[in-house]
A and B are shown apart, each in its own frame.
Chain A
Amino acid sequence: MSLKSLKIPNIDFVNRRHLAMIFSAVLLIASIVSLSVQGLKLGIDFTGGTLIELGYSQTADLEEIRGKLNEANYQGTNVQYFGSDTEVLIQFEPQQVSSAKLSSSIIHMLGENIDVRRVEFVGPKVGEELTNDGGLAMLYALIGILIYVAFRFEYRFALGSIAALVHDVIIVLGVFSALQIEFDLTVLAAILAVIGYSLNDTIVVFDRIRENFLSTRKVDPKPIINDALNQTLSRTIMTSLTTLLVLLALFFLGGEVIHSFAGALLIGVVIGTYSSIYVASSMILALGISKADMLPSEKESKEIDARP
């Protein structure tokens, strides 16, 4: 079957935006409630602490490991399988009197013939810095994007795209909080990538909205925005699908270490696609965008049309 015969769809996105707003509001409130009630399950990258991944030649006995750890008086440990039952992940909270030495003594205690696959130790100071730097990175990315979009389009578009981004980030964080999936450095990278992706989507729609405003005499922004959404719809879906395909490959085949990274991106791409259709355009509509606002960049647009 080929899809080429399909006509440009004509879905009334704009008049359904109130429904979408309710949907978004519910998700946002749920996310914020979850984030403020139980917060994020931060990984040792942010909290500090020690993590040891061990590989056993046969099924590992978690109870035995817990017993040994208790015997040696290690408190605040978390022992679990990691990916398969021959791999064990032990996490230690920042210890009262601890240092990078901890990992050596643990390995020594649990005995020989265990493959030490990974040891991570993050000092409390480093963790605190990462938390701050992570927040700052997110802020800088948003500011940089705001400036670029305001410069290329118009401030209402900039606000619309930022609204969509904040929407996406809060909901992805909300899912991580609600499901208590561990939030580590790679998830932070994924969220920043989501910002990039969602923005990419939004810009494509905005570009079309601007183009349509300039090429028509109509004044009512609603049908113009709706046309733009419909015209870009098949591209939006195609790109989301190809991205989702590779993310699914990464999620299922990439291994435990980037599992939550791929997960965050999967959620983010779905939410980002939705928000570029509903949130960003509803926002510029609410801010009162009109044909007159597009005029400064008319010259530029004409130049494009004039090209062969």
Chain B
Amino acid sequence: MNHYSGWKNALIAFFLLLSALYALPNIYGSDLAIQISSAGDASIGEQDLATVENTLLTNTVDYKSIGLSDNRILIRFESSQSQEQLSTQALLKATLSRNYVVALNLAPSVPQWLSDLGGRAMSLGLDLRGGVHFLLEVDMEAVVAMSIDRYYNELRSLLREDRLYKSIRNEGNSLLVTFKSEESKQQGKSLIKDELLDMQIVEGSESELQLSLEITPAAIKASKSTALKQNITTLRNRVNELGVAEPIIQQQGSERIVVQLPGVQDTARAKEILGAVATIEFRLVDEKNDLQLAVNTGKAPAGSKLYYFKSGRPLLLKTSVIATGENITGASSGIDQNNAPMVNIQLDGPGGRSMLETTKEFINHRMAVVYIENKVETVLEDGEMVKLRTKTQDIINAATIQGTFSNRFQVTGMESARAARNLALLLRAGSLSAPIEIIEERTIGPSLGADNIAKGFLSVLVGFALVLLFMAWRYRVFGLVANVALTLNLVTIVAVLSLIQATLTLPGIAGIVLTVGMAVDANVLIFERIKEELKSTSNIQKAISAGYEKALLTIADANITTLIASIVLFSFGTGAIKGFAVTLSIGIITSMFTAIVVSRALINLIYGGKKVKELAI
């Protein structure tokens, strides 16, 4: 009685050793580091490493070590070298091509043998390491409106061939078609059915010569999901341009995107870059028509449209577009011969051809660059939530075409160097396919992060120590056994968190603290039960065994119900709550193992199979 077989003890010891091994990476600190990764899909290899090493050598940069692993290069610095870290980042950013992302990072200094075994330190949440969290929402109404526009054009060209329609009107969510005759209507209907698979006739909208068409729900769903995916890709490009180590960009639900940027401090710039839905268009200036007349009447002549400079100066531009942001393959900022900021632009094939034709034909005409930005924000107005959409279209510059050019040229007339840099970045990273809105932002400064770690750690330590003392005082030898179990529980929780790389947050630490308090409950239940048994029997071994057996079911019941509550928490989970639920759930499960199995093994080793006169309980 009260004896675990050798293999059972060995298994327990094996599990505990494994836990200790995978908890181990957390005791090593982390190094200041620069991380170089690929901006695209290309992999980073030995050759890149050599290039970087060369650059560091020629610029006599002092660093601790450099290494290539997990498709990234890490340059480590001593903790006193924060200046070197910053200057080296600037140096590498300037020398390396744009295919690389050069970011500041904190790299855990886990020894090689341990990381070879898969040992990694816990990943800390933004509230512990500092950084920015954004929740972005894609304006899906705008997505639908844009697809209606697209189908409007398709429908027109479809029905135009046989001149079937009299008019087509865009009514927001549907297209109202008026046909020429009953016959053409029938013909049109069958054409639409065969060719425009994504459109359907609005039920009950059909009258003698008219019918309304709407986009099928399936097509709406598809275009929404495409818009979301495109936006995620664009955001990823932009974040790469910002240079952030270990960013998280994820879809959340059907219309939201989470962006987490650990370590980013300049949130204003991050917001500017992430949220901007900017593109540019190149248009010819309408030199023939009367500008003043158009301004006075507010009506532009056919084939032209009225635009304004940021200063308010008006200009008539032709409606046909030479090239748009989508034709841009490269952009960089610089300074022109007059020391004014400018943006160098490269176009793709079709864009270049169109530009060449235009500049040939319209030499000595003026060409304008229009900057277009779509913004959306939700505000409270008289208690109602209203979506405000704003579209700004500013002329950046209008310059005379001096000679023919195709796919390489400059845009001047930028407001500031910063504006030029931002525009170049946005053009490079691509434009968002639909406006997005920041609906949640959480920024934690580095000082608060460090504070949170220190305070969290201290409260775990103090709470833990208090419980250890209390248990030892109340249950003596058994209390000490419970304390060993509790300590091992803490180690196991850390090991599991490190292994599954769950993010540790401050509420997560609170969850660990709470688990410490509650984990002893299982032992308390068992010990109280043993005490009770001791009153009715003089057989000490039997009392121990009965105490464990009888308490088992109660412990299981109590823990399963708590587990239900924490699983609900997890599934509900936004950040803070999820972190708490994760550590609480893990703590409950590991505590069942340590408090029941490990403590039993220890008690068996101490008392099992021996003649015991009295229990120190």
Contact = CB atoms under 8 A, between A and B. Distances in A.
A126 B440 contact: yes
B514 A241 contact: no
Contact of B576 (A101, A185, A265): A185
Interface string A281-308: 0000000000000000000000010011
B1 A308 contact: yes
B518 A145 contact: no
Interface stretch (B21-29, B43-51, B161-169, B373-381): B373-381
Nearest to B132: A119
A234 B524 CA distance: 9
B338 to A, nearest CB: 30
Contacts of A196: 561-562, 565-566, 584
Interface in B419-451: 437-445, 447-448, 451
Q: Most chain-A Cβ atoms within 10 A of its Cβ — which of B271, B568, B617?
A: B568
Q: Decide if the interface of chain A is mainly helix, strand, loop or mixed.
A: helix
A308 B545 CA distance: 8
Interface residues of A, number: 86
Given A137-B572, A185-B577, A249 B463 contact: yes
Interface string B258-278: 000000000110010001000
Interface residues of B, number: 84
A241 to B, nearest CB: 7
B474 interface: yes
A278 interface: no
Interface string B560-597: 11101111110010101100110010000000000000
B470 A245 contact: yes
B218 interface: no
B400 interface: no
A118 B510 CA distance: 19
A304 B549 contact: yes
Contacts of A145: 561, 564-565
Interface of A: 2-4, 8, 48, 53, 55, 94-101, 103-104, 107-108, 115-126, 130, 133-134, 136-137, 140-141, 144-145, 148-149, 152, 185-186, 188-189, 192-193, 195-197, 199-201, 203-204, 207-208, 231-232, 234-235, 238-239, 241-250, 253-255, 257-258, 261-262, 265, 304, 307-308
29 contacts: A96-B380, A107-B268, A115-B445, A117-B445, A118-B442, A120-B441, A120-B442, A121-B442, A123-B437, A141-B565, A144-B564, A144-B565, A152-B557, A189-B569, A189-B581, A192-B565, A199-B562, A200-B558, A201-B558, A242-B517, A244-B517, A245-B466, A246-B463, A247-B514, A247-B517, A254-B455, A257-B452, A258-B506, A265-B514
Given A118-B442, A234-B528, A247-B513, 19 more contacts: A3-B474, A117-B448, A141-B565, A141-B568, A141-B569, A145-B561, A148-B561, A185-B574, A193-B580, A196-B584, A197-B562, A200-B559, A235-B524, A242-B517, A246-B463, A249-B466, A253-B462, A258-B507, A262-B510
